[in-house]
Amino acid sequence: MIKRLFSPGIEHKKARWGWVFIFPSLVFFALFNFYPIFNALHTSLFRKKLLSLKPPKFIGFDNYIYLFNSPDFWNSIRATVVFTIGTFIPMVIFSLILANFIISRKRFQKFFQMAYYSPAVLSSVVVAAIWLLIFDPRGLSNQFVNLILNMPGIDHKWLANSVMVQISTMLVYFWKYVGYFTIIFLVGLASIPKSIHEAAKIDGVNAWTGFWYITLPLLKPTTILVSIMSMLQCLKTFSTQYLFTQGGAPMEPINVITLNLYHTAIRDHRIGLASAMSIILFCIMLFFTWLQFKGSRSDEVSY
Amino acid sequence: MRMEAAKIRPGDVIAKTLIWVFLILVCIYCLIPFAWMLSTSLKTEAEAFRMPPTWIPLKLTVDSYIGIWVRKNFGIYFFNSTVISLATAALSTFFGALAGYGFSRFFFKGRRFLIGFFLATQMLPGVLLVGPYFKILSKVGLYDTRTGLIIAFLTICLPFSTWMMKGFIDKVPDELDQSAMVDGCSRLGIFFKIVLPIVAPGMVATILFAFLLAWGDLLWALCLTSSEPMITVTLGIARTVGEFRIIWPMLMAGSLVGGMPAIILYVFLQRLLVQGLTAGAVKE
């Protein structure tokens, strides 16, 4: 062991080059990623106000205790959970269905892919702005729903009613990301060898049974990947809710953790409290990331 | 073939038609907001909420498009966004390529751990770092500057650029490196003269992604800048939404112009984008 450390063998020399290539990114990470995270952890134990000259006071876990007793924070957790579950489950199901439908068509595959993915390239701000216009009481969504239900002149309060505004944010997010996950499913589908489906067809398996007993089990890794990715995406949501509240929607029903965090840190300057909040969110997301790693490793499929 | 032809049943035809109808309906759902944005941006303010809605404006006008440059500071916003996004994209792709090469070729101790770490940071929500960043950047005098914003975006982009570039470099056979080594090429020489040119399309894809990420961000711009000359396009749009009275045609014109770079890049480089998307997301 000691000999290996001191003798500059080829492997050792090679390893050193590895560090050389990674070094710039690593330094950057240490400075701008690890340090801020530890800083947040540290700050979360203090009562500290931004820009105030008073020295921060060490209060231990009081910030966390305060948060867990604060109805406002619990409301944020509720809003985040409702939004995440209400968005990612339909998203996974729909993108799975869409990908299967697209790949079963012989023509226009590229066209559908492009059309479905197009909302994903827009920034969330632009997306939210467009949908604010559509959800306006005089806007397209009311007219459309009333046309279908054939009851003109009814305002469905897309942005005013506390239930409707939650559904609205989900619709916006769904619109933006469904194509993105459809494409990931398409890649997963394309990696399943054609011979399997052909063999099934010869054996007289119909489309539905084939999907349920062949495609779906083989797609399991992709499905897990998409589920966790979309879940993490939903937990991170900020712009949609921010713009909606700026546009006059009520804050409480859509006050997700990220929005609450932003207000606590930047508007109220309660940086210690905000740090505690971000650590909690970090733990939640770390848990799901870990789950993704575990899921993607144990579910290798061999064809 | 013969069997298939004999087996067409009315049920199949109905299923097929239903699938087409469904696909087309979703297509309309995806594309209508784009059309509505374009249509509204070309209307007068009075016509924006006309009932019934008009898809082709009765009175076509480009006043809103002039207005965003003249009555609003869209020129400044656009300039800021362009500078910041370009710098972020270039830097993160370059450093990402370096690190990606390191991870792809050298099996040093702690490699797996570091890769895991890079991936984990990719999952970090930006909002987490907002507080500490605000503090740090204020301390070193980079609050409310473009440089500060570039650093913040780099933090977000770097892990994912590294991951994407590693995916592309993995596909380049190691034998190429070795034969170049035999010919006396240095490690850096191999990286710059052999590997980078081969993964050029992948680099373009990575640059695109980083650019779009930086271009579309709101949170960092909101937290790390405050004065009018530093505002980015997204922040400009967000502030317009927050105004007392929203002039919709103008907001839509601004959104369209703000979304334009992304739309153009997407239309022309769609194949690359999809390739990059899958390189980062799907494991080999």
| Chain B residues closer than 8 Å to A122 by CB | 216, 259, 262-263
Q: Which residue has the tokens 């990719």?
A: B122
Rounded to a whole number of angstroms, the distance from the CA of B28 to the nearest CA of chain A is: 9
Q: Per-residue pLDDT averaged across A113-129, rounded?
A: 89
| Chain A residues closer than 8 Å to B268 by CB | none
User: Does A115 lie in the same domain as A258?
Assistant: yes
| Chain A residues closer than 8 Å to B19 by CB | 101, 104-105
On whether any CB of chain A is under 8 Å from the CB of B131, the answer is: yes
Res B275: pLDDT: 65
For residue A266, is it within any domain? yes
User: Does A260 lie in the same domain as A121?
Assistant: yes
User: Does A104 lie in the same domain as A10?
Assistant: no
Looking at chain B, which residues constitute the CATH 1.10.3720.10 domain(s)?
67-281
Query: How is residue B42 annotated by DSSP?
Result: T
Q: Is A1's pLDDT higher than 70? A: no
Q: How confident is the model at residue A170 (pLDDT cuts 50, 70, 90)?
A: very high
- A16 Cβ contact list (under 8 Å, min separation 6): B108
- The Cα–Cα gap between B220 and A98 comes to 34
On whether any CB of chain A is under 8 Å from the CB of B14, the answer is: no
How many structural domains comprise chain A?
2
Q: What angle (nearest 5°) sits at the alpha carbon of residue A228, between those of residues A225 and A233?
A: 120
For residue A85, is it within any domain? yes
On whether any CB of chain A is under 8 Å from the CB of B28, the answer is: no
User: Does A133 lie in the same domain as A23?
Assistant: no
The list of chain B residues with pLDDT below 50 reads 1-5, 280-284
pTM score of the predicted model:
0.85
- Tens digits of residue pLDDT in B244-272: 788 888 899 999 988 888 888 887 777 77
Query: How is residue B218 annotated by DSSP?
Result: -
Residue A20 belongs to what domain range? 1-30
| Chain B residues closer than 8 Å to A32 by CB | 151-152, 154-155
Q: Which two tokens stand for residue A296?
A: 């993607």
User: Does A3 lie in the same domain as A79?
Assistant: no
> Is there a contact between B262 and A123 if contact means CB atoms under 8 Å apart?
yes
> Is there a contact between B263 and A122 if contact means CB atoms under 8 Å apart?
yes
Burial-class residue A59 by CB neighbours within 10 Å (0-12, 13-18, 19+): middle
User: Does A243 lie in the same domain as A104?
Assistant: yes
> What Cα–Cα distance (Å) separates residue B120 from each residue in A287, B5, B50, B61, B113?
10, 52, 49, 49, 10
Instruction: Give the ipTM of the model, two decimals please.
Output: 0.83
**CATH number for the domain whose boundaries are B67-281:** 1.10.3720.10
- B239 Cβ contact list (under 8 Å, min separation 6): B231
Q: Per-residue pLDDT averaged across A209-220, rounded?
A: 84
- A47 Cβ contact list (under 8 Å, min separation 6): A56, A57, A59, A62, A63, A272
HEC assignment per residue over A247-261: CCCCCHHHCCHHHHH
- Tens digits of residue pLDDT in A231-272: 888 988 898 999 999 888 888 899 999 899 888 888 888 888
For residue A36, is it within any domain? no
> CB atoms < 10 A from the CB of A139, how many?
21
Res B284: pLDDT: 33
For residue A187, is it within any domain? yes
Res B25: pLDDT: 92
Res A151: pLDDT: 78
For residue A215, is it within any domain? yes
For residue A50, is it within any domain? no
- A297 Cβ contact list (under 8 Å, min separation 6): none
User: Does A95 lie in the same domain as A229?
Assistant: yes
Q: How many residues does chain A have?
A: 303
Name the closest residue on chain A to residue B268, using Cα atoms. Answer: A114
Q: Of A215, A123, A293, A183, nearest to B118 (Cα)? A: A293
For residue A48, is it within any domain? no
User: Does A131 lie in the same domain as A254?
Assistant: yes
Q: What angle (nearest 5°) sits at the alpha carbon of residue A63, between those of residues A57 and A67?
A: 160
User: Does A256 lie in the same domain as A115?
Assistant: yes
Res B3: pLDDT: 47
Rounded to a whole number of angstroms, the distance from the CA of B31 to the nearest CA of chain A is: 7
Q: Which residue from B128, B237, B263 is facing A278, i.e. has the nearest CB?
A: B128
For residue A38, is it within any domain? no
Rounded to a whole number of angstroms, the distance from the CA of B95 to the nearest CA of chain A is: 6
